Amino acid sequence: MTQALRAIWRLLRTLLHIVQAVLRCGLLFPFLDGPARLQQVQRWCVGLLRCLDITVHTTGSVHAGPVLVVANHISWLDILAIIAVHPVRFVSKSDVKHWPVLGWIVACGGTLFIEREKKRDALRVVHHIAEALNAGNAVAIFPEGTTTDGHALLPFHANLLQAAIATDTPVQPIALRYSDAATPISAAAAYVGDTTLLQSLWKVATASKLRVSVRVLPPEGTRHLDRRALTEKVRGEIEAALEQPAVRSL
């Protein structure tokens, strides 16, 4: 099968999988509670990664119970990869909510949306994250605030980590890295610059042996900590972990 035909086959499978998500959100989700919805979202994310022939390599495990997951940010695929490892609610930029069809699906999964251009909106989101943590949820954030090409980390914003400190909830770092048959840091996965979602999806679909390494690092306690010091510590741990190889597949 040629590269183009293989990509088209992957995209057809992906389209059918998205239709399945629409049906689940519309017909099944109204009858499910929060945890049951997250389980359904996890199964769907695992299935979508399979449709795109993306292999997940994972080490470590996410803390059982409420936890604030902190990860580096490379692609929209990050959300699928993390949820495939552990069901979490995400904080995402408000633009995602306006994506056709996919925005509605993401919202159904319990995503919390933030308007990053408005500094005051972070206070509102911190409050909602704290509520979710107090309710026993796992919540995930990308403190870089935007995506990178996977070669280096941007500075981490500390604001949202205040929710973990305020609720005495552990923070758990996750280091994400994409590779493919051609390179240890895949350009196909990077969703950066002026790349559109459709362009990114085509790059992913045409990639050969695309893999994502999800390295789950030990959780950090947050009691009485300064959020900036905590943020720098977590960033340093993720940066160090990005140099280590993935060892097993999900």
Q: What is the pLDDT of residue 88?
A: 94
| Confidence bin at 96 (pLDDT 50/70/90) | confident
Q: Which residues of 104-118 are buried (b: 16+ CB within 10 A; e: fewer)?
A: ebbbbbbbbbbeeee
Structure-token pair, residue 216: 């789950």
106 located within any domain: yes
Q: How many domains does the chain have?
A: 1
Task: Kindly state whether residue 248 falls inside one of the protein's structural domains.
Answer: no
Asked if 160 contacts 90 with a C-beta cutoff of 8 angstroms, the reply is: no
Percentage of the chain surpassing pLDDT 70? 96
Which CATH number characterizes residue 68's domain? Answer: 3.40.1130
pLDDT in tens, 132-183: 999 999 999 999 989 999 999 999 999 999 999 999 999 999 999 999 998 9
Lowest mean pLDDT among 103-112, 164-173, 222-231: 103-112
pLDDT given for residue 189 in this prediction: 96
Gap between the Cα atoms of 198 and 201, Å rounded: 5
Decide if pLDDT at 246 tops 60.
no
Does a structural domain hold residue 146? yes
- Do the domain assignments include residue 27? yes
Domain-located, residue 197: yes
The answer to the question of residue 249 being in a domain is no
Q: Is residue 250 part of a domain?
A: no
pTM of the predicted structure, to 2 decimals = 0.92
Report whether pLDDT(201) > 50: yes
| pLDDT at 108 > cutoff 90 | no
pLDDT in tens, 27-67: 988 999 888 999 999 999 999 999 999 999 999 999 999 99
Nearest CA to 141 out of 86, 88, 70, 81 is that of 70
What's the average model confidence in pLDDT over 212-239? 94
pLDDT > 50? residue 250: no
Please tell me the predicted confidence (pLDDT) of residue 247: 45
Confidence of residue 1 (pLDDT cuts 50, 70, 90): low
Domain extent at residue 60 = 3-241
Q: Please report whether residue 89 resides in a domain.
A: yes
